[in-house]
Structure 1
């Protein structure tokens, strides 16, 4: 029996343009693919192991022809719209009090700062959750087992009583190996508001 719903943020609630952001960055940085060093630095930033200043300075030193605002704009290019229907969905779940609601997101300070600035209902959204875990704040990130174990321990949960929802296969596979029920949602064809219809086998 599912007692706790654990949601990713990007491509579950807020839409992301991963492909467009990557294409934009490759063109801006004049590279054909991201070298491992940049990928590693991005992961460190998501994990809260680099400050925003250190992160932007790293990119500035590697791409001195670009301004810091160019770099920040490119980093935030991935963020798209947040349909109000999804806010209404999570607000209704919060009112119903049938499930414990947890958000578990790989994100970073720049993205959250941009969302907070441009999304008028961000605080209302946060208020719907019993716990709101952002990778750069807890200094862990998916798909590492440590972050899932942390959520289980912090909330005294059993993985078989949780449904974890994420658009990244690597993350849902990691959670599944730990005993979680999972839904690897496809943001192009599926919407979180339809979870009880699309995944009725869990309920």
Structure 2
């Protein structure tokens, strides 16, 4: 990364707030009246899920597909309630770092693989956090998802910055690899304090003479 940091890109789940997929399964099993652990925890990251995240498959259609795949007797509202139960607490060090970056003149954006069902559920839960970003790049709205290189290229070009002027935080190795191949300095997020530590230790440009 160059000394001239202009853009910080944050993933959302497990970087800015907690997600707990196990909660979804327990909710679904409870509502379906089946024993906990009955549904396979091998979440299907298949073509249908990617379509759902790109916004080309509706939440209702995906919910019906998921229930069919897992033999769950749930209506859409029940499935949606379970699906939205995954969201947990805000990761405070990340939230505070976003504010510090913006105070220093850095543009801070969110880049997330997500879906319309989840985005709607954030209202009232994460309003302050979501509104703190200078821009949101959500897969279901832009029709692209990580780790496609074009997603990162789209974000960079939208802010007219080069790869060397950006920093990226994500908890998925495959997304980090793509960003790094494009020349974006990237931090694999496996600890709550990583964004704060990176900001504290970042290279600071020397004053102009």
TM-score where L is the length of structure 1: 0.80
What is the SS of the residue equivalent to 2:48? helix
Instruction: Tell me which residue corresponds to 2:49.
Output: 42
Instruction: Tell me which residue corresponds to 1:147.
Output: 151
What is the SS of the residue equivalent to 1:107? coil
Q: Within 2, Cα distance between the matches of 1:118 and 1:105?
A: 17
The Cα of 1:76 is off from its aligned counterpart by 2.2
RMSD over aligned Cα, in angstroms? 2.7
Q: Within 2, Cα distance between the matches of 1:61 and 1:201?
A: 49
Question: Going by fraction, where is helix more abundant, 1 or 2?
Answer: 1
Matched, 1:9 2:17: no
Instruction: Tell me which residue corresponds to 2:167.
Output: 163
**C-alpha distance after superposition, 1:18-56 (max 9, x if no partner):** 4x35764797683435475x6332221111111122222
Instruction: Select the residue among 105, 124, 144 that pairs with 1:98.
Output: 105
Matched, 1:175 2:179: yes
**Do 1:91 and 1:125's aligned partners in 2 also have CA atoms closer than 8 Å?**
no
Q: Within 2, Cα distance between the matches of 1:80 and 1:6?
A: 21
**Do 1:5 and 1:100's aligned partners in 2 also have CA atoms closer than 8 Å?**
yes
Q: Which moved more, 1:153-162 or 1:68-77?
A: 68-77
Instruction: Tell me which residue corresponds to 2:78.
Output: 70
Computing the radius of gyration from Cα coordinates, the structure with the larger value is 2
Gaps of 5+ in 1: none
Q: Within 2, Cα distance between the matches of 1:133 and 1:173?
A: 19
Aligned CA distance change for structure 1 residues 16 and 57 (closer, same or farther; 3 Å): same
Instruction: Tell me which residue corresponds to 1:57.
Output: 64
Count of paired positions: 194
**C-alpha distance after superposition, 1:134-176 (max 9, x if no partner):** 1111010000111111112222110011111111111011100
**C-alpha distance after superposition, 1:29-88 (max 9, x if no partner):** 83435475x633222111111112222232344435223233223322331111455434
Matched, 1:109 2:113: no
